[in-house]
Amino acid sequence: MKNVVHFGAGNIGRGFIGALFAQSGYHVTFVDIAADLINLLNTEDAYYVRTASEPQETYQITNISGINNQLDPERVIAAINEAEFVTTAIGPKVLPFIAPLIARGIAARTNTEKLYVIACENQINATDALKTEVLKALDQEQMEKISGHVFFLNSAVDRIVPLQHNDEPLDVLVEDYHEWIVESSEPIPPIQGMQTVPDLSPYIERKLFTVNTGHAVTAYLGYLAGKQKIHQVLQDAAIAEQVKATLEETGAYLIQKHQFDPKVHEQYIEKIIHRFQNPKLNDDVTRVGRSPLRKLGASDRLVKPAVEAYKLGLSYQHLAQAIAACLHFDYQEDSEAAALQKQLQEQGAAAVLKDVCGLPEDHPIAQAVLRAFSQMVKVEH
C-alpha cells in the first residue's frame, strides 16, 4: 500500500488533494490541529465528496486516517517514514509552522525510496517557501542524506471548495472542475487528476492572476455592494463588467509575458467567470475575500499583475480599483481584515500601500488606488 501524509484536513485537503490520492489507491494520513476532525477521520471508514453540479456526482473516499500534529508529532514522523508523498493544503502562512515537523520526519526516514513534497497552496512557488523552512531545520549531514531522495515540487491547485454545511462533518461539496499541476521535469508516480509540467510559471500565473484575481475582485466589489454570495454579486451587470475588465487587464499582461493565444485566453476568462456564477456552490463573499493582507501582498493576485501591467505600459486602472475595494473589506471575523482596518485607521491608506503592497505613495498605481479608495461608497452590512 502506498502512503501519503497530507497536512491540512480542510476543504482542499479532504475535497481535492486527499480525495485524488485515495482514488489513486493511496492510504491518506491527514495531519491537522483540529481535534474533532482528526477523531472523526479515525473513527469513520469513509466520507463522501459531492460535486456542485447537475447531475451531482458522489465519490466515496476510503482508506483514510488522521493524526493531530500538536498532540502526536512522533506519529507524524513515523507516517512520513512510510510515505511516498507529503502534501499540504493548510494556507501559505502556516507553512513555516509545520516545516520543522516535516524536517524531523524527513531527517528520521529510514525508508530509502523517493519522497515527493508538494505544497498545494494559492501562492507562487509555495513549495520552495516550504523547502526553505524545512532546510533551515536540517544540519549539513541531514541535508546530504536527503539529497537525491527527497524532492520538493511546486504546484498549482484549482478547485473551488466553499465553506461546508453538510449533515456529516467529513463530507465535502466541491465544484466538479479541478486542475492540479505539478512542476517536475522527471517522471513522478502518477496520481489521478495530477498533471506534471517542466515549467509551472505560465500555469501558476494564469491560474493565480485569472481565477484568484477574478474571485478576489468579485468578493471585494460584492462586499462593498453589501452582497453575501459570489453568484449573486455577478448577477449585478455593472460589477460583472468590472470583474471582466479586471481580467482583461491581467490577461493583457499574461498574453504578453507567456505568449498565450489571445482567443484561448479569452475563453479561459469566460470559463472562470462561469465557474464563479455556479449557484450550487453558494460561496460566501467573506470566504473568498478572506485574508486580505495576504491578498494585498506584492507577489499576490492584485498587486503583482498591476505592477507587471504598469511596467509593460498596459492598463492597470481596474486592478487599482480592486486593490481599493480590498482596503474596504472590514469583515471583523477575519483577523487579517481586522488588522488591515486597524492599520488603515492608525496610519492611513498610503502607509498600508507602502507596507503591505510595497507601493510607495508616489507610484502611479498607489495614486490610482488612493483616488479610487476615497471615492468608493460602501453599503453597510
Ligand X SMILES: NC(=O)C1=CN([C@@H]2O[C@H](COP(=O)(O)OP(=O)(O)OC[C@H]3O[C@@H](n4cnc5c(N)ncnc54)[C@H](O)[C@@H]3O)[C@@H](O)[C@H]2O)C=CC1
Ligand Y SMILES: O=P(O)(O)OC[C@H]1O[C@](O)(CO)[C@@H](O)[C@@H]1O
Whose cell is 511516498? That residue is: 84
Pairing of strands 2-7, 26-32: parallel
Known binding residue 6? Answer is yes
Cα separation, 199 vs 195, whole angstroms? 12
Known binding residue 298? Answer is no
For the bound state, the minimum distance from the C-beta of residue 1 to ligand X, rounded and expressed in Å, comes to 24
Positions in 114-173 near ligand Y (CB under 6 A): 122, 158, 160
Is 8 a binding residue for ligand X by CB under 6 A? The answer is yes
Residue choice 14, 109, 215, 227 for contact with ligand Y (CB under 6 A)? 215
* Listed residue (154, 253, 244, 236) closest to 199, CA to CA: 154
C-alpha dist (Å) from residue 30 to 61, 291, 329, 377: 13, 24, 33, 44
Q: Binding segment for ligand X among 9-17, 191-199, 253-261, 271-279 (CB under 6 A)? A: 9-17
Positions in 107-166 near ligand X (CB under 6 A): 121-122, 157, 159-161
* Listed residue (45, 70, 73) closest to 60, CA to CA: 45
Residue choice 24, 34, 143, 371 for contact with ligand X (CB under 6 A)? 34
* Nearest-CB residue for ligand Y: 122
Closer to ligand Y by Cβ: residue 122 or 242:
122
* Listed residue (3, 151, 25) closest to 78, CA to CA: 3
Is 11 a binding residue for ligand X by CB under 6 A? The answer is yes
For the bound state, the minimum distance from the C-beta of residue 241 to ligand Y, rounded and expressed in Å, comes to 21
Is 177 a binding residue for ligand X by CB under 6 A? The answer is no
Write out the residues near ligand X by the rule CB under 6 A.
7-13, 31-34, 69, 89-92, 94, 97-98, 121-122, 157, 159-161
Write out the residues near ligand Y by the rule CB under 6 A.
122, 158, 160, 211-212, 215, 288, 290-291
